[in-house]
């Protein structure tokens, strides 16, 4: 179950970036569950990771390898991702297993182990099936190609129902550059950094520090604005690679702004695709809070509404129970909130003002909006000039079923 068609537009290859997908039989026999990505020598890499204190072994290893590569003045050359097992909550043995996978990739390719970043997603707390992964690595190398984004997008999925991929192209300095990316995630979604897993590559020439800066800003406007269930994963990782193969150097301020705008567009599309494919989702909801004093105030209200079980179940029922939204705004912790000044809409339908139901509101109007797959809940706090937006889902029977049966 998902919102919208999920139809993908053309995904453009990125020069200097190849992907190979294969089956390691980690959880489901015959399913493609191992994805290798090869970066051209000299590529710049930026990354962000989960804010969960119990971060998975591959996250810890990836952070260490990024630091080691920087100290050695070497570039990251490979990314290796397995599904079916998160290698999280696995202690010292999990770290050893993640390193073993990196060493296997390094041994096959002739690079140093610290030039390999590992990623895992799936069940938490179970030992990684290292032997199966290492045995499948040669097959992943054989599959490497720069035009296999869709196969990789499918290979990183877990409870997702469909692949998530997007491309953008633009001209900078008279040269065409490409930005392509894939993501996965459907549950345990409330990133404080990125998403479950996402990989974005461009053939632009961008210096590493600058690449990290633009990634951080793009993440704040995209992946840090989504929630399915309010849970932050142990494995969240987002990697941005700039291969430089286009020889389009991003240096002038105008070019930086255009590049950042395109990157943000890719990140927003991938983040919204996760929400539209949220576990059991039947609704895609935009929560817009305006009139706040500052960012925190608007985001506190937005997330309170987006994560309220009572609001989310009303959304699933297509029930215009606006009182639930009103109640959540009131308990969101806004100091000295003047409730008579607050206004709430479903899309263009004003449902609440002056402390109660709007005089113009009718149940028919509310039902018309609620029957849609996609709409906005708009809240005006009438306290300041700040406006912030997040995206969320409803809460359905299928969400409960999927997570109740996750390990069976």
Catalytic residues: 195
DSSP bridge pairs for 166: 181
Indicate the DSSP class of residue 26: S
Whether the CB-CB separation of 202 and 211 falls below 8 Å is answered with no
Whether the CB-CB separation of 275 and 199 falls below 8 Å is answered with no
Task: Give the list of residues 6+ apart from residue 254 with CB closer than 8 angstroms, or none.
Answer: none
User: The tokens 């937005």 sit on which residue?
Assistant: 302
Whether the CB-CB separation of 255 and 301 falls below 8 Å is answered with no
Helices (H), 111-178: 130-142, 149-155
Structure tokens belonging to residue 90: 């696995």
**Residue 170, class by beta-carbon neighbours within 10 Å (0-12 exposed, 13-18 middle, 19+ buried)?**
middle
Helices (H), 143-235: 149-155, 208-220
User: Between helices 309-316 and 322-330, what is the axis angle to 10°?
Assistant: 160
- Reported as half-sphere exposure (CB side, CA atoms, 13 A), residue 382 has a value of 11
Longest dimension (CA), the chain: 72
The alpha carbons of the chain give a radius of gyration, in whole angstroms, of: 22
Structure tokens belonging to residue 71: 């100290």
Indicate the DSSP class of residue 249: B
Indicate the DSSP class of residue 145: B
CA distance 180 to 196: 17
Instruction: Give per-residue burial for 332-348: e unless 16+ CB within 10 Å, then b.
Output: bebeebeeeebbbbbbe
Which residue from 307, 206, 303, 297 is spatially nearest to 260, judged by alpha carbons?
Answer: 206
């Amino acid at each position: 179950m998902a919102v919208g068609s999920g139809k993908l537009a053309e995904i453009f290859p990125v020069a200097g970036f190849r992907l190979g997908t294969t089956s390691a039989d980690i959880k489901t026999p015959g399913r493609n569950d191992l994805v290798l990505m090869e970066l051209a020598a000299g590529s710049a890499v930026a990354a962000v990771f989960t804010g969960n204190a119990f971060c998975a072994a591959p996250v810890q290893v990836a952070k260490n390898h990024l630091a080691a590569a920087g100290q050695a003045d070497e570039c990251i050359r490979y990314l290796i991702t397995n599904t079916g097992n998160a290698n999280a909550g696995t202690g010292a043995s999990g770290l050893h297993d993640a390193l073993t996978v990196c060493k296997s990739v390094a041994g096959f390719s002739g690079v140093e182990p610290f030039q390999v970043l590992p990623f895992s997603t799936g069940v938490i707390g179970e030992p990684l099936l290292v032997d199966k992964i290492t045995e499948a690595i040669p097959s992943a190398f054989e599959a490497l190609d720069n035009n296999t984004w869709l196969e990789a997008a499918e290979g990183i999925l877990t409870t997702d129902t469909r692949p998530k991929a997007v491309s953008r192209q633009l001209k900078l300095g008279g040269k065409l550059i490409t930005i392509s990316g894939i993501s996965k995630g459907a549950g345990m979604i409330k990133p404080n950094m990125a998403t479950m897993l996402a990989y974005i590559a461009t053939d632009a020439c961008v210096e590493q520090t600058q690449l990290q800066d633009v990634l951080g800003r793009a993440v704040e406007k995209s992946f840090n604005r989504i929630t399915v269930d309010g849970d932050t994963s142990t494995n969240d990782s987002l990697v941005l690679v700039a291969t430089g193969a286009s020889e389009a150097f991003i240096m002038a301020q105008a070019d930086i702004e255009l590049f950042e705008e395109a990157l943000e567009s890719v990140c927003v599309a991938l983040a919204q695709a996760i929400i539209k494919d949220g576990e059991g989702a039947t609704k895609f909801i935009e929560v817009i809070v305006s009139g706040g004093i500052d960012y925190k105030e608007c985001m506190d209200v937005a997330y309170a509404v987006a994560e309220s079980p009572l609001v989310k179940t009303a959304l699933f029922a297509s029930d215009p129970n606006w009182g639930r939204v009103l109640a959540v705004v009131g308990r969101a912790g806004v100091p000295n909130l003047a409730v008579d000044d607050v206004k709430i809409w479903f899309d263009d339908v004003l449902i609440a003002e002056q402390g109660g139901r709007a005089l113009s509101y009718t149940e028919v109007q509310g039902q018309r909006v609620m029957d849609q797959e996609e709409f906005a809940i708009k809240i005006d706090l009438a306290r300041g000039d700040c406006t912030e937006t997040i995206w969320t889902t409803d809460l359905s029977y299928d969400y409960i079923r999927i997570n109740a049966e996750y390990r069976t």
